[in-house]
């Protein structure tokens, strides 16, 4: 299964279900009917973007919203915002006095979703920082008060830095808190022979494979490698 992006690149379809029809079934039956209106709107607005497929998959988003509620998340970190689908769903899931530190190297795409975020009345929960994520996480760690203070972190950015983000986030998130990594099946390529993988997907594949191996033996977290969306690995800090 493949899809073609607006700039003509052909990618394998995200998602590892048996068929596209089965994935559509999950979306149409369980996800879209319950998707909050502002998220639908953000998805619509994003659909004309050349990189629309970068948005977090709505079924993974639904799981994420449940996790946020389960841990009663109030203080969160978002690495990789794009037009803001996962950011908006986080903002809708945390309480009114909650705070999200949202980091992206580019503010341009965030501006696309911002009017919808404002209309939904949740902009005050977001502290958007236009920057490379690593220095921001390091800066957060300079303040002792931040250590172990975050309830939840969602990482959906440059795969090559996932292992670096993990070392910072494990200190920033509290024991019992969650760090979730998106795209940990990387279009299904993690289990393909390298020669079958599109050239442009190879660097991401290598980073994701490295992360998956690292998380599998990290005793500081419990993990669940959920085969939803493009794969989302949920880590709960245990010590």
Beta bridge mates, 179: 153, 235
Range 65-91 burial, b when 16+ CB lie within 10 A, else e: bebbeebebbbbbbbbbbbbbbbbbbb
Q: Minimal distance in Å, beta carbon 86 to ligand SAM?
A: 4
Residue with Cβ nearer ligand SAM (175 or 204): 204
Neighbours of 112 (CB within 10 A): 16
CA dihedral (216, 105, 140, 176) positive or negative: negative
Which tokens go with 2?
């493949």
Our CB check for ligand SAM shows the closer of 145 and 200 to be 200
Cβ distance to ligand SAM smaller for residue 35 or 104: 104
Contact 79, 162 (CB under 8 A): no
DSSP reduced 3-state for 41: helix
- To ligand SAM, the closest distance from the beta carbon of 183 in angstroms equals 7
Helices vs. strands in the chain: H and E counts, helices first: 8, 9
Q: What residues make contact with ligand SAM under the rule CB under 6 A?
A: 54-56, 80-83, 85-86, 103-106, 109, 132-133, 156-158, 161
CB of 80 to ligand SAM, least distance (A): 3
Residue 118 CB, shortest distance to ligand SAM, in Å, is 17
Of 109 and 189, CB closest to ligand SAM: 109
- CB atoms inside a 10 Å sphere around CB 115: 13
How far apart are CB 32 and ligand SAM at their closest, in Å? 16
Q: Closer to ligand SAM at the Cβ: 41 or 220?
A: 41
Looking at beta carbons, which residue is closest to ligand SAM? 80
């Amino acid at each position: 299964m493949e899809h073609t992006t607006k700039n003509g690149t052909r990618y394998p379809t995200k998602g590892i279900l048996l068929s596209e029809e089965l994935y559509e079934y999950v979306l149409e039956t369980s996800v879209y009917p319950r998707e909050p209106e502002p998220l639908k709107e953000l998805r619509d607005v994003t659909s004309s973007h050349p990189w629309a497929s970068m948005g977090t998959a709505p079924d993974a988003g639904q799981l994420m919203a449940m996790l946020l509620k389960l841990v009663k998340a109030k203080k969160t970190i978002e690495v990789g915002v794009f037009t803001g689908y996962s950011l908006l769903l986080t903002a809708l899931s945390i309480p009114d006095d909650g705070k999200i530190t949202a980091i992206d190297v580019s503010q341009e795409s965030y501006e696309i979703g911002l009017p919808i975020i404002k209309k939904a009345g949740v902009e005050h929960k977001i502290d958007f920082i236009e920057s490379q994520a690593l220095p921001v996480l390091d800066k957060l760690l300079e303040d002792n008060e931040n250590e172990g203070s975050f309830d939840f972190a969602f990482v959906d950015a440059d795969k090559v830095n996932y292992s670096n983000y993990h070392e910072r986030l494990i200190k920033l998130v509290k024991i019992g808190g969650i760090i979730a990594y998106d795209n940990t099946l990387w279009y299904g390529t993690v289990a393909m022979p390298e020669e079958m993988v599109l050239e442009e997907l190879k660097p991401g594949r290598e980073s994701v494979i490295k992360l998956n191996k690292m998380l599998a033996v990290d005793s500081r977290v419990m993990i669940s490698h959920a085969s939803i969306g493009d794969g989302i690995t949920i880590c709960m800090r245990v010590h």
